[in-house]
Structure 1
Amino acid sequence: MEIKTHDQIDRSLCGNPVVVEEGRSEVKLECLQSMAADASGLVHGGFIFGLADYAAMLAVNHPNVVLGGAETRFLKPSVVGDVLLAKAECLPSEGRKHCVKVEVFCGEDMVFSGAFTCFVTKEHVLAGK
């Protein structure tokens, strides 16, 4: 399926799409040394959130999709060298509002889960600026 959103995103920071289908996506991210928050190699949660957010955007896959809110849980720490896989699935939508369930795994272990509320706007959020 053609990717219709976030076409200029830095995939080294937000992950590489491996599945993009109607209403779902899977995105893989290798945790790099530049993502470490400290000397132990703990990966900053913002990178994991970015991966999950990107997967949610791809599940909706519309040029004007934006994030409205998210309820998330970090379940286990991630470290440099981990390979994460975000799996996103759209739940039944209400017009322009899309609720997307995202789970992030490191191997068999779930490290993050979230419910993302996305909106498809009539025009790009920066149109006219």
Structure 2
Amino acid sequence: MKIKTHELIDRSLCGEPVRVKDGMSEIRLECAPCMAADESGLVHGGFIFGLADYAAMLAVNHPNVVLGAAETRFLKPSRVGDVLVARAECSSPEGSRHMVKVEVFCADDIVFSGTFTCFIPQKHVLEGR
């Protein structure tokens, strides 16, 4: 499926799409040294959130999709060198609102889970600003 949103995102920081189908996506991210929060190699949670957010956007896959809210849980730490895979699935949309469940895995372990509330406004959020 053609990707219709977030075309200019830095995939080295937010992940590389593996699969994008109607209502779902799978994104892969290799945790790089620039993501470390400290000398131990702990990956800053913002990068994991960015991966999950990108997966949610691609599950909706509309040019105007934006994030309105997120309920998230960081379940296990990630470190430099880990390969993370985010799997997102969109539930039935209600008008312009889409609820997207995202889980991020490191091998078989779930390291992050969240529900993302995404909206599709009629025009781009920056149009006319």
Please list every run of at least 4 consecutive aligned residues from structure 1 whose deviation after the TM superposition is greater than 2 angstroms.
none
Paired with 2:48 and 2:91, the residues of 1 have a C-alpha distance of 21
TM-superposed deviation, 1:92: 1.2
Equivalence map 1:34-45=2 (5 Å): 34-45=34-45
Aligned to 1:70: 70
Paired with 1:58 and 1:15, the residues of 2 have a C-alpha distance of 11
> Structure 1, unaligned stretches of length 5 or more?
none
Paired with 1:75 and 1:34, the residues of 2 have a C-alpha distance of 22
Aligned to 1:16: 16
Which TM-score applies when normalising by structure 2?
1.00
Q: Is residue 86 from structure 1 mapped to residue 86 from structure 2 by the alignment?
A: yes
Which TM-score applies when normalising by structure 1?
1.00
Aligned to 2:95: 95
Paired amino acid for 1:16: E
Aligned to 2:2: 2
Aligned to 2:25: 25
Paired with 1:27 and 1:121, the residues of 2 have a C-alpha distance of 24
Q: How big is each residue's C-alpha offset from its partner over 1:74-107, in whole Å with a ceiling of 9 and x where there is no partner?
A: 0000000000000000011101000000000000
- Report the aligned-residue RMSD: 0.3
Q: Secondary structure at the match of 1:93?
A: coil
> Structure 2, unaligned stretches of length 5 or more?
none
